[in-house]
Amino acid sequence: MAESCSLLDTSEPHFRPLVVIELAKGTKEETIAWFTKRIVDKKGNGGAQLLVKPLLTEDGDENIYLVGASHLRLLLGAEAVGLVKECNDNSMRTFTYCSRKTFKDFADDNHDFLTMAECQYIIKHELENLRAKDEKIIPGYPQAKLYPGKSIVRRLLTSGILVQIFPLHDREELKKLRHSWYGRVKVGYQPLDEIRCYFGETIALYFGFLEYFTFALIPMAVIGIPYYVFAWEDYDKYVMFATFNLLWSTVILEVWKRICAIMTYRWGTLLMKRQFEEPRPGFRGVLGINPVTGREEPVYSSIRRQIRIYLVSLPFVCLCLYFSLYVMMIYFDLEQWALDYHEENESNFSSLMLYVPSIIYAVVIEIMNRLYRYAAEFLTSW
């Protein structure tokens, strides 16, 4: 980065709230003061260098805070997260503050250069990567332990001090989007670019796929109508229809891959460099230097990680596989017992007993699935 964020004045005369932070009611004043100070403090001091204002509720409890950022801070944050924007020569490149003049539609007074979704993503990224320096505990809560490199937001959430963090709606922008999207009856495509600017790429891709899939099903529906109306006895016609469905399903998938690549390239997400991401908020490690980026961040020994995988995770997976096979063999034995019992008695009760092994097996599978899911999430995080 050509210019350090800590050395620049990132104050903003017009505060624009983008993200909401809700603290638990009754949060201690010293905790609020410490947390808000870390949010507004300079990057060089371990802060996020954002803007914070309390939102007074009807009962006067200041447990909700609005978070924003100056235009300059958002531009520097866009470089930090590796946002890809369109240049004046129509190419897509990673945004850098020093070469900002080369990007399309950029101007120092154009606050719409970054979309609302991008601004909220930058703020969320900065908040999640607020990490402890020398603090051992969260002020006011001795039971909430900290260590160098620990995510502050993560600890506040797990301690119940921080209730939630969520993006704030812009009523005017939402009204415009509603009018162009679903506010009036029309036949046409969805405004995917506008959806992306407001909600982000993930939501826009979701609605883009729904739109594409709806149109892609029209040929299958048109060809399938005669098969539904007329009861043909020539089964060769049904074979032809099944063959068409098989081929068309493959075509649908391949064409969607191409359309998806076009949209993600145009929106800049196809070229984003994920290898320079900050560690996830729940990552645990000692504060050190990343050998790739040279930045100070939590690191964890690769040898210790391999030991956890091969001495804990792998044996546990093998044990689960053995237990699953053992339960399946018990089910086969029960099924054979029920069949033998039915052959000996030939009664209504014995007929019902034929379904008992399957019912028991289904219940056991559901229980095991829940246990395995919990164990998988726990081991993955651990």
pLDDT by residue (tens digit) across 259-274? 999 999 999 887 665 5
Final residue of a structural domain among 267, 293, 317: 267
Give residue 12's pLDDT: 57
Percent of the chain surpassing pLDDT 70: 89
Tell whether 81 and 161 lie within a shared domain. Answer: yes
Q: Is residue 293 part of a domain?
A: no
Tell whether 261 and 312 lie within a shared domain. Answer: no
Report whether 62 contacts 54 (CB < 8 A).
Answer: yes
Tell whether 223 and 305 lie within a shared domain. Answer: no
* Domain range for 361: 301-381
Q: Is residue 3 part of a domain?
A: no
Q: Is residue 37 part of a domain?
A: yes
Give residue 235's pLDDT: 74
Please tell me the distance from the alpha carbon of residue 133 to that of residue 152, in angstroms, as a whole number.
10
Give residue 13's pLDDT: 60
Tell whether 25 and 163 lie within a shared domain. Answer: yes
Tell whether 51 and 142 lie within a shared domain. Answer: yes
Give residue 87's pLDDT: 92
Q: Is residue 161 part of a domain?
A: yes
Query: CB-side exposure of 270: number of CA atoms within 13 Å?
Result: 15
How many separate domains does the chain show?
3
Tell whether 155 and 32 lie within a shared domain. Answer: yes
The letter for the amino acid at 292 is V
Q: Is the pLDDT of residue 352 over 90?
A: no
Residue 205 confidence class, pLDDT cut points 50, 70, 90: very high
What's the mean pLDDT when you consider all of the chain? 86
Tell whether 144 and 212 lie within a shared domain. Answer: no
Q: Is the pLDDT of residue 297 over 80?
A: no
Final residue of a structural domain among 135, 168, 201: 168
Q: Is residue 130 part of a domain?
A: yes
Final residue of a structural domain among 224, 245, 267: 267
Report whether 123 contacts 132 (CB < 8 A).
Answer: no
Tokens of 331: 């089910």
Tell whether 318 and 369 lie within a shared domain. Answer: yes
Name the maximum alpha-carbon separation found in the chain.
89
Report whether 12 contacts 48 (CB < 8 A).
Answer: no
Give residue 272's pLDDT: 65
Please tell me the distance from the alpha carbon of residue 15 to that of residue 303, in angstroms, as a whole number.
47
Tokens of 46: 């371990």
Tell whether 238 and 317 lie within a shared domain. Answer: no
Residue 7 confidence class, pLDDT cut points 50, 70, 90: very low
Mean pLDDT within 220-248: 83
Higher pLDDT, 133 or 258: 258
Tell whether 77 and 131 lie within a shared domain. Answer: yes
Q: Is residue 5 part of a domain?
A: no
Query: CB-side exposure of 93: number of CA atoms within 13 Å?
Result: 14
Q: Is residue 88 part of a domain?
A: yes
Give residue 274's pLDDT: 55
The DSSP output letter for 162 is E
Mean pLDDT within 324-341: 89
Tell whether 35 and 144 lie within a shared domain. Answer: yes
Q: Is residue 12 part of a domain?
A: no
Residue 99 confidence class, pLDDT cut points 50, 70, 90: very high
Is the pTM higher than 0.75? The answer reads no
Tell whether 157 and 197 lie within a shared domain. Answer: no
